[in-house]
Amino acid sequence: MIGLLQRVRRAAVEVAGETVAAIGPGLLVLVGVQPGDGEAQARRLLERLLGYRVFSDAQGRMNLSLRDTGGGLLLVPQFTLAADTAKGARPSFTSAAEPARARELFETLVAHARGEWPNTGSGVFGADMQVSLVNDGPVTFWLQTNP
């Protein structure tokens, strides 16, 4: 699984003009699912997201995690993260999981996140979403859990 995390001051997801999720300070994470990913990868990605030290401490160093700050977590499905862009002028999506499996694993990730982190919101798998954010820093990291 791939998680492109962005430290944000706020973020929101709209579908058909309606806000379906929003957070204040925390992490917006775009999530891609690859073939071979399973529940173990979803759990590992969540563990890393909650524990990854990307927030500043009193000295201005990135030493605090979401668990330390109590911020929000907004998970947004984005299959294009798994694209193969190695050649040509058009991405290939053969390296992305099949839609049904990707949906299942994304929803598994969200369910586990909500169980561990009450301040969790999510986008809608397969929907045309408009994602807005105020990136804090900017701070952006690519996390990947391999099958």
Nearest Cα to 71, choosing from 102, 123, 108, 28?
Answer: 28
Nearest Cα to 120, choosing from 43, 39, 50?
Answer: 50
* Structure letter (DSSP) for residue 70: T
Catalytic residues: 78-80
Residue 101 to residue 35: CA distance in whole angstroms = 9
pLDDT for position 147: 76
Please enumerate in sequence order all residues whose Cβ is within 8 A of that of 70, keeping only pairs 6 or more positions apart, or say none.
Answer: 119
Q: Please count the other Cβ atoms lying within 10 Å of the Cβ belonging to residue 118.
A: 10
We report the CATH number of the domain holding residue 40 as: 3.50.80.10
pLDDT for position 84: 86
146 pLDDT exceeds 90? Answer: no
Residue 79 to residue 63: CA distance in whole angstroms = 30
pLDDT tens string 4-24: 999 999 999 999 999 999 999
Residue 48 to residue 143: CA distance in whole angstroms = 8
Q: Please count the other Cβ atoms lying within 10 Å of the Cβ belonging to residue 108.
A: 18
Residue 73 to residue 11: CA distance in whole angstroms = 9
- 26, 37, 59, 140 from 30: Cα distances, Å: 13, 16, 29, 11
What is the number of structural domains in the chain? 1
Residue 100 to residue 103: CA distance in whole angstroms = 5
pTM of this structure:
0.95
pLDDT for position 83: 87
Domain holding 137, by residue range, is 2-144
